[in-house]
Structure 1
Amino acid sequence: MTQPQGSAPERDSGTEPQRVFFALWPEERVAAALYTSARRIHAQTGGRLMRRDSLHLTLAFLGDQSPERVETLRELAATLRGEAFELLVARAGAWQRGRIVWGGPEVTPPPLAALAEELAAALRAEGFAVEARPFAAHVTLVRNGHQPPSREINPPVLWPVGEFALMRSHLGAEGARYECLGRWPLSHDTQADRGT
Structure 2
Amino acid sequence: MRVFIALELPEPFVDDLAAVARQLAVHVAGRYMKRDTYHVTLAFLGEIDEGTLRAALDAVDEACAGAGPIPLRASGLGRFGAPSDATLWLGLDPVGELTRLAEGVRERLGSHGVPFDKKAFRPHITLARRARIAGRPLPALAFPCPDEASRVTVFRSILDSSGATYKPLYTVELA
Q: 1:152 deviation in Å? A: 6.6
The within-5 A match list for 1:94-113 is: 94-98=79-83, 99-105=86-92, 107-113=93-99
- Taking a change above 3 Å as real, the CA distance of residues 61 and 34 of structure 1, as seen in their structure-2 partners, is same
3-state SS in 2 of match to 1:156: coil
The answer on whether the counterparts of 1:165 and 1:183 sit within 8 Å (CA) in structure 2 is yes
Structure 2 residue ranges without an equivalent (≥5): none
Q: 1:89 aligns with which of 54, 68, 74?
A: 74
The answer on whether the counterparts of 1:57 and 1:139 sit within 8 Å (CA) in structure 2 is yes
Cα RMSD for the two superposed structures? 1.9
Separation in 1, partners of 2:160, 2:113: 29
Task: Tell me the TM-score normalised to structure 2 length.
Answer: 0.87
Structure 2 partner of 1:118:
104
Separation in 1, partners of 2:147, 2:25: 21
> Is residue 174 of structure 2 the alignment partner of residue 186 of structure 1?
yes
Identity percentage of aligned residues: 27
Structure 2 partner of 1:51:
34
Q: 1:161 deviation in Å? A: 0.8
- Higher relative contact order structure (alpha carbons within 8 Å, sequence separation ≥ 6): 2
The answer on whether the counterparts of 1:92 and 1:153 sit within 8 Å (CA) in structure 2 is no
Structure having the higher strand fraction is 2
Separation in 1, partners of 2:140, 2:68: 27
3-state SS in 1 of match to 2:44: strand
Aligned length: 169
Task: Tell me the TM-score normalised to structure 1 length.
Answer: 0.78
Residues 94-136 of structure 1 show CA distances to partners (whole Å, capped at 9, x for unaligned) of 111141100022x311100000011111111122223333210
Structure 1 residue ranges without an equivalent (≥5): 1-17, 188-196
- Taking a change above 3 Å as real, the CA distance of residues 43 and 65 of structure 1, as seen in their structure-2 partners, is same
The answer on whether the counterparts of 1:30 and 1:159 sit within 8 Å (CA) in structure 2 is yes
> Is residue 157 of structure 2 the alignment partner of residue 169 of structure 1?
yes
The within-5 A match list for 1:11-50 is: 18-50=1-33
Q: 1:138 aligns with which of 124, 128, 146?
A: 124
The answer on whether the counterparts of 2:71 and 2:97 sit within 8 Å (CA) in structure 1 is no
Amino acid at match of 1:179: K
Separation in 2, partners of 1:163, 1:153: 27
Q: Which has the larger radius of gyration?
A: 1
Q: 1:40 deviation in Å? A: 1.2
3-state SS in 2 of match to 1:142: strand
